Chains A and B, each alone.
Chain A
């Protein structure tokens, strides 16, 4: 069976893959050859080919995270040739296709590197720090039931659309991996601005931003120095404007804090 492009030629590639047994051991790059890779394959399908091959030979397959393979779950996270999610802008690793590469290429594949994202094994890292930041305040405090009718509070379409844009962050961590300070500002700002933009989120906006930023610092993410590589590498286009909103929220929270402690 051929794909959409019957004339596309299969490729042979050299892979330089980061292998690391677990969190407590040192890792290193190992070279592998893969053959007959169709340009219609996704990057992860190419790794599937490698892994099937390794397993058949009795070698350990390369551990990596993935699930939806459609760019929405945020699981996949490979640092490919020095770039988070590889060469194609606005694209997660799972949506990157091999037609972006050429026969004979050497491809380096590494995990996200950040103190707050320890390696589990090979290319899989622990991003639970993101969950803990959300737990610190990335929500509106409503219980199930007893909420007003959904159309009770009209929200201007422009505001709703902006909140939606911010809410599309997939928590992949590419922003952190691309930042030389390993800052999580873009991720945090996306949630802060989604909820700050919506009227439902106003009640808790001050404590939210303070608590989320405090947790971010505690997790060991670096400081934001406005370089902007986060937004440049974000696969879903979370914009720097969110960081501006976060800074504004943070300053005004500090000035008029509701936090009594």
Chain B
């Protein structure tokens, strides 16, 4: 039996209101008797921790960063969606809902997505009240832009630094609760396990990253807001420290992992320049509003370009192939991310890629500069152009940017019900850490929206329902489950320290990244995936016999931190491959070469795969058990996505 997804009955538009009415409430005087552990202080975690503390719960907030303000959320550039319809251009809660369901290629839950669209409007109000300096028009009202292929302007932004400003807003709310003593903040503290007492999440085990101390923490409920797992690919646009350890540890303690193979590859990133490359930098999607994507028409031209025999500005207009405009006349350069990424790959596979590696396409602003002037372009994209110039040493005002797709976001994550509760009672997951709202592909500017929706407006209600049914007795770390979990964590850390082999954690991470990108990246095949599975297993064995670490575990040891995270990636990677192998269809970010339309577009199999794949951990080196949550579409009709 699949666990109940707890979607409320009734018409779509009334579900959330009804649910809020039906959930149990914790008596205000009792709230201070409950301790809630929040792991992660990015957008999803900081907003949850602050809001729960405001309600009166005692919150303990954990982050491995030195400050909550440094979470990966800080790097989000483009913006945050909300169905405010301030532009009077036909937006509505229903349209945002519809776009998100369609954009996700019909692999998300209707009820969750509708709720997300509903609360999106409150997020903007909340952030403005906190002092988030969104972009404004001359009249003093908020500005919007259209983003990521949306046909309405519903994206709120703060220049190219929206994530920064939203996170600083949530961080300020969190800081206020720290000052009031309602949140106790644990920085540079990494959660390494969940503690389950009588089938319910009752605490966590952590390691202090400065002293190496292993500690136990108890709470009546645990919220994981620990971000996505894109770094399983080694190279991604995620921050270097982003990792899957918290989610993976929870998975191994009973939380199902949903749709792990749904990863998003972002089309506009700065290409890899050498094998020392440590991360990839996103060039905001907004650039596609004015930049035109092209490669040379002829393979031979591309070859000469790569060898440095000709320069890009020598290539005549008629010898350029603006492939997105050619193939998708209606959406042109603004097709969704998965479509844009796959097409760039196709061009490079055909041998028409540019840059010395041949793994890049051009993003050209010459027309925009001609039309509106370099000043206008600089006003709009100045900081992105500067960043590009800093990293590549090239001037994008004079020659087109080179871009290539890169791993950016993970739609998969811990399975949660409508209350954001995982399959472990008392354990919740919010933000990018859960799988809930984006189906097989996420729309631009919707991750920030989801993280804040979960943290500010969903979890504060839904966690109350659980706590109201939990006696308000103090929780302690006395139960033997804490000692056991701590012993396991210690044993694992010591095992890592004692292997004494020859290869560094980064070396293994890079090797894993290569396998994942090659076989479980932009295009996948059954054969390739099977090969990848064997390779990952082999690499995992090598890891546990040939890892090299130095120093001790009782001090700051960054290589040890890294090793623990790589160990978890090596297990998660295999599950991703299994998931991609089992899903015999193409949808959204999951493209199986065997399943495509004659035009090369993703071909879904709605008959057989309109479900969430939720994987249950069954033991080390065992095959995970697959559970299916059927997705029922009562409000939208499933259609083949078309951006022609």
Contacts and interface: CB of A to CB of B under 8 A. Distances in A.
A51 B561 CA distance: 14
Nearest to A96: B390
B341 interface: no
Interface string B153-190: 00000110100110010011101101100000101000
B235 to A, nearest CB: 12
A52 interface: yes
B520 to A, nearest CB: 22
Given A1-B274, A68-B74, A55 B556 contact: no
Contacts of A149: 125
A44 B124 CA distance: 36
B430 to A, nearest CB: 14
B313 to A, nearest CB: 15
B273 A144 contact: no
Nearest to B452: A144
Given A1-B357, A38-B276, A40-B274, A147 B125 contact: yes
B548 A55 contact: yes
A67 B72 contact: yes
B238 to A, nearest CB: 9
Contacts of B387: 70-71, 95
Interface string A184-217: 0000000000110010110000000000000000
Given A127-B66, A164-B159, A194 B133 contact: yes
A73 B70 contact: yes
A200 B274 contact: no
Given A70-B75, A126-B66, A154-B140, A135 B131 contact: no
A139 B173 contact: yes
Nearest to A165: B133
Nearest to A40: B273
A72 B142 CA distance: 24
B126 A157 contact: no
B376 interface: no
A189 B126 CA distance: 24
Interface stretch (B366-374, B502-510, B536-544): B502-510
A97 B137 CA distance: 37
B481 interface: no
A171 B138 contact: no
Contact of A138 (B54, B172, B279, B281): B172
A60 interface: yes
Given A1-B357, A3-B274, A157-B140, A150 B179 contact: no
B432 to A, nearest CB: 15
B142 A151 contact: yes
Contacts of A120: 210, 556
Contacts of A71: 387
A259 B277 CA distance: 53
Contact of A72 (B54, B127, B164, B555): B164
A46 B8 CA distance: 54
Contacts of B355: 4
Contacts of B139: 154
Given A1-B273, A1-B274, A60-B550, A68 B72 contact: yes
A126 B171 CA distance: 18
Given A48-B506, A69-B240, A69-B278, 7 more contacts: A1-B272, A2-B356, A61-B550, A95-B390, A131-B178, A131-B185, A164-B133
30 contacts: A1-B273, A1-B356, A2-B356, A4-B392, A4-B393, A21-B555, A38-B274, A42-B278, A52-B507, A55-B559, A63-B556, A67-B70, A68-B72, A68-B74, A69-B240, A69-B278, A70-B75, A75-B66, A126-B66, A131-B178, A135-B178, A142-B173, A144-B173, A144-B457, A150-B84, A151-B86, A157-B138, A160-B136, A167-B165, A194-B133
Q: Which 3 A-B pairs have the closest CB atoms?
A: A154-B140, A3-B273, A139-B172
